[in-house]
Every structure is written in C-alpha cells, then in structure tokens.
Amino acid sequence: MGDDMSDDGRGTYRHERAPGRQRRRFPGISSRAYEHPADRSALVALRRLSGFDTVFKALSGLLPERSLRLLFLSDSVRVSDQQFGHLNVMLRDACYILDLEAVPQMYVTQDPQPNAMCVGLDEPVIVVTTGLVELLDEEEMRAVVGHEVGHALSGHAVYRTVLLFLTQLAVRVAWIPLGNLAVMGIVTALREWFRKSELSADRAGLLVGQDLRASLRGLMKMAGGNHLHEMNVDAFLEQAEEYEAGGDLRDSVLKILNVLPRSHPFAAVRAAELKRWAESRDHQRIMDGHYPRRGEDKDAGVGDSFRDSAAHYAGQVRNSKDPLMKLVTDLAGGAGDLGDRVRRGFNGFTAPRKGGGPVDTPPQEDPAPGTRDTPPRDED
C-alpha cells in the first residue's frame, strides 16, 4: 500500500489519495447515522444540568491539553509507518471509511490493563494500551480503532477529557465539605452520558470493521481475557439475555447500582446491544448507502433527536424483559393484576422462565442479595 497521507506540518495527516480496500466506505457520513438515541438524549440532559455550562467553559481554558500531549509524546510510542505500522494502517483505514479528513494522532502506552480512549479539546488523540494490543487479533483491533475514530467524529473527546479531569478533581477535593458533592454530581451525569456514547462508538467500530463476529469477540475478550478457545460468542450473548431478563425487582435495582460507578456499560450488555443494531433496518440502510450526511447536520433540528430518543425509549420499555421495565409497562397500561402483584412483593415481578409463564412462587424469606465490591473497569 502506498503512502496516501500527507503531513500538514502539525503532525496531523490528511488524505492524499485513497488506497484500494475491500470494505464499504461512507463518504460524508454524519455521526447522526450511528449515534445511539440514548447518547444524544444523555448529552442534551447533561448540557441542561445546572452549573455544567459554567464548569465546562471554565475547564476548557484550564485543562492542560498541551501538557497531556507532551506526556504522550515523551512517555508513549506514537503510531506511524515506522512504529506499530499495522495500527497505523488500521487508523488510516478507519478514517477513510468514516471519511474523517484529519487523522488523529495515536499512541500506544505501557499498561497491562486493556483500554483505549479518545481525548483532547482542540484535536482528538487516540491512546491504546499494550494490554489491549496484546489481547485482540487484527480484526478485533480494527473494530476498536473504528470505535475510537467514531468517538472523534462524534466530538466525544472533549467531554471525555472533562470527565477524566473532574474524576481526578473529585478525589482531590473530597475533604472539602460539599465540594466533592458538587463535583460528583457533574461526574455522575458525565458518566451516564459516556456509557451511552460507548454504544454509539461500538456501532462506528462495526461500520469500520464490517465484521460483527470480530466486534463481539473483542467485547467477549474484554470480559474473559485471551482464552478464546475456552469461550463462545453465542454463549456470551446468552449471558447477556439472561442478565437483561433475569431476576426480580431487586435485581433490577442492583443492576442500576452496579453500573453507576462505571464509565462503560458491561461488556455482555454492549455485545447484545450491538448485535441488535447490526440486525436492524437502520444498519442495513447505512450499508446500502442511505444515511444522513454531515452537510445536512445544520438542518437537523433538536426536535428530531428528541422524537428519535422518545421512540427508542418507548420501544425499549415495551420490549424489555427486565422486571422493572415490565412494571413501567404495566403501570402505563393499567394492568388488571398489578395490585395483586404489588401485594405479593418482589416475587410478584419475577421474570418469566424460558418457554413458560411467569414464575409465580409465594414470597419467601430470602436473604438480601449482596453485591460484589468490584472496582470499576474502564475499558473500550
């Protein structure tokens, strides 16, 4: 493959000519094409959070972005034709497929924890750890690189940088009365948005790699490590189905509590969500060349995003197997047996068995379920 990029003098590469590729390309694609409705909704809610605009504007001028770039330059390996050449090819391919003109700089940093991120205010920078490079095969890694390029195209890097800074700040001001409370309120809202943005970036990774099994394998390895011969993608997806449908209202509440401290959704949940989108009409339309263009972004109203989000959530609640979501559906529909189910307690909302009706056991004196005190993982 010949050199198809030119340096603009600032270390940013731009397309000169496009090399031959087998994968489909999406000229002028808007990030709206693949963004998850919950991503856009959470971002709108975040921007409406009291005090967020003030904090964001203040941090935009204070964040040490120049220092961050110097740190990567001095203590990581910059991806290029000479260093990690296979990653450089993947990066340029991903930018070509999603038609991102300015190719972000990419660094590999020594860290056994598999991770990747896209940060930066003015120009996004992609960072991957050695643990991730060693964990994934070529096609799995291609999906991850596409995932990070999707973050760049969507403009997620700015808010991700703010989240990283505020997370560190929250630790430093924890001793100040009410100070940590104020910071953590914004951090919690940022995490909620970022978890949703990961679903968008997973879709971008699939558009780049165009290999669903590779994307799912990568997520499975994030959960179970480099033991592919001991794992099975279909069984992993069955886990996700069991997680989403199983248990009673107590489990539904515990699911919410478990995910709150995390910056990323659970790997099995991401896999199931990506598979659903890959099988959807929306994904097929993009693959057929029918998708919104960046040139139309200025004409896209906020109302459209709200309607898309509302329709998404309505469908999610209606089709969900989660007991809490079923309760919401019953409340909205005025279910005749709702009062009786409430009187019977949590077991009245137990999820249905596979191939059968609802589990209708009498209330029992079960011990209160515990939760694993697992530190939050921060991986893509």
* Rounded-to-integer distance, Cα 282 and Cα 201, Å: 15
Predicted local confidence at residue 349, as pLDDT = 46
Residues 6 or more apart in contact with residue 202 via CB below 8 angstroms: 147, 215, 219, 270, 273, 274
Q: What band does 289 get if pLDDT is binned at 50, 70 and 90?
A: very high
More confident of the two residues 355 and 249: 249
Q: What band does 9 get if pLDDT is binned at 50, 70 and 90?
A: very low
Q: What band does 230 get if pLDDT is binned at 50, 70 and 90?
A: very high
Predicted local confidence at residue 337, as pLDDT = 52
Check pLDDT > 60 for residue 28: yes
Predicted local confidence at residue 326, as pLDDT = 52
Mean pLDDT of 284-288: 97
* Rounded-to-integer distance, Cα 171 and Cα 168, Å: 5
Percent of the chain predicted with pLDDT > 90: 41
Residues 6 or more apart in contact with residue 203 via CB below 8 angstroms: 34, 35, 36, 150, 274, 277, 283
Mean pLDDT of 144-169: 86
Least confident of 123-127, 192-196, 217-221: 192-196
The top-scoring range by mean pLDDT among 170-184, 233-247, 321-335 is 233-247
Sheet containing 13-15, strands listed edge to edge, beginning at the edge strand earlier in sequence: 5-7, 13-15, 102-103
Q: Which helix (H) or strand (E) holds 199?
A: helix 179-209
| Candidate list 148, 192, 273, 379, residue with the active-site label | 148
Predicted local confidence at residue 51, as pLDDT = 65
Q: What band does 43 get if pLDDT is binned at 50, 70 and 90?
A: confident
Check pLDDT > 50 for residue 327: no
Q: What band does 143 get if pLDDT is binned at 50, 70 and 90?
A: very high
Least confident of 106-120, 203-217, 259-273, 308-322: 308-322
More confident of the two residues 68 and 377: 68
pLDDT averaged over every residue in the chain: 76
Predicted local confidence at residue 152, as pLDDT = 94
Catalytic annotation on 139? no
Predicted local confidence at residue 54, as pLDDT = 66
Mean pLDDT of 161-189: 65
Q: Residues 185, 160, 195, CA angle at the centre, nearest 5°?
A: 70
